[in-house]
Structure 1
């Protein structure tokens, strides 16, 4: 079933969910840029910035990053609230799980806002900053999977191996991102490169990088070899492969440059967020329901007699 054949309410929610995926990925990247540019405390108060909605005299690159990060988070929260209200009001036209998931997403973004406040009020504690990123990536995964499910009105379950490998790859990537966040928020990489101390997080992140990439690539290879519906997902599978290879290359480049190029680090986090979004979309996909062919019933009374 195509998207155009879905009820208009479901079609609009699909479009909103797709836009939210982009917005949350942007939120993750802006948050990463805020950390790399050491702008996490550029606005010393919360939820305002220097006591106003739009700081004027204090505005510079760092303040703008922190202020825009909060603005994007506010817009995402309002959009999720609208999605939840629409899902509850028109729940009869939607899957049973849609209102519950929408309300859960509102709760998660509220929790995310609370973690964002704690990162400022408690001066960027490593554990809270890491939890802030992991929750953001979880939102990316759920919204991406939600978008895929809303696009498919009727479908059959994907093969068990597809669901298992795709979810394993998704969890592995999120776990690797968690290690990277922990390494970054404790400044382990800088301390390790400069003085040789605090290298345990750096070593763990580098050690697990190749196995995680291997899990993702195994999923891609198995899907292509399986043929049929799985092989027809090759555009997204190829995109996943490119993201993994790019991520490995950026990770190596980041360390070789001694973390001196913030844009490389930000790109590294962008690819991680995109990888989570695409893997979640693949995990949520399912084959289209094959059409049911009704048997042709021939009414013998309407047929003329055939001689010879």
Structure 2
């Protein structure tokens, strides 16, 4: 006689909710990277003031007769930002309501991202009302990239819950952190340079070239730090899951970014699609390095907790 079928064990409390929030967080990362790319396209196409008012565009939710490529870019940029804000509001609200079933850090991380997107919206409004003042444009881009990093890390930490992964060495964790900080600094310098049109002035009149030189020098440091991160993956222990692959993917993105940067300079910024791809790759690189750091921190945290339990 066949033995009766045993019922499948129940999933851990909050597993379904966590998986759904992880899916939402992954979509947020994509939307934020797209937001950075569309923002870059808006700047390159000189469409930052295509909608003269805020938050509406020509006093409407959907501009009709005024719609052209520049207006569409600025309008769609605002639409994407609105969708991101609503998604973060849902993520934060759900995290607090279901906090008993979720990791304790999640409501605070989601709440921080929600505050940041509110700041981002305020900076977006000021960039229009203050006629694209360079410091505001740079702050707008910086906040967007920090949001990419935060949501990417948030997603990775949610995806790691319940998985038993090894922890990377402390020196590799430090290298991942340094790589992310240097790349973010490089993006900040590039955004500041772009908001002042320094590269265009350098090519046309020879002024502002110090910004371009500083950007290239810091780019070399950023590339070397990420290359070191990838080159040392063979020294890592087994059982790290996707962590080595993420680091190697970051190395590949650095190669693409360097090629796009060289191409952009050789074309003297006359190819808008190349310039936009350069900014898109930068956002992808920030998100990828944040994922590496978040997974590394998650592994270290789990390792420390396990050590405390054993010694306790």
Shift of 1:153: 1.7
Where does structure 2 lack aligned partners over 5 or more consecutive residues?
1-10, 307-312
Aligned match for 1:159, one of 148, 166, 169: 169
Shift of 1:235: 2.4
1:220 aligns with 2:230: yes
Larger radius of gyration: 1
Corresponding position of 1:134: 142
Shift of 1:108: 0.6
Superposition RMSD in Å: 1.8
Q: What is the aligned residue count?
A: 288
TM-score by length of 1: 0.89
Corresponding position of 2:111: 103
* CA shift in 2, pair 1:75/1:248, >3 Å: same
Corresponding position of 1:260: 270
Tell me if structure 2 keeps the 8 A contact 1:105–1:139. Answer: yes
Where does structure 1 lack aligned partners over 5 or more consecutive residues?
293-308
Corresponding position of 2:7: none
TM-score by length of 2: 0.88
Corresponding position of 1:85: 93
Tell me if structure 1 keeps the 8 A contact 2:19–2:159. Answer: yes
Shift of 1:102: 1.2
Shift of 1:162: 2.5
| Equivalent runs, 1:1-308 vs 2, <5 Å | 7-154=15-162, 155=164, 157-229=167-239, 233-285=243-295, 286-287=298-299
Partner Cα separation in structure 1 for residue 82 and residue 175 of structure 2: 35
Partner Cα separation in structure 2 for residue 66 and residue 232 of structure 1: 37
Residue by residue over 1:185-242, the C-alpha shift from the partner in whole angstroms, topping out at 9 and shown as x without a partner, is: 1010000001111111111001111111001111111122334245963322221111
Q: Find the residue that maps to 2:232 and give its secondary structure.
A: helix
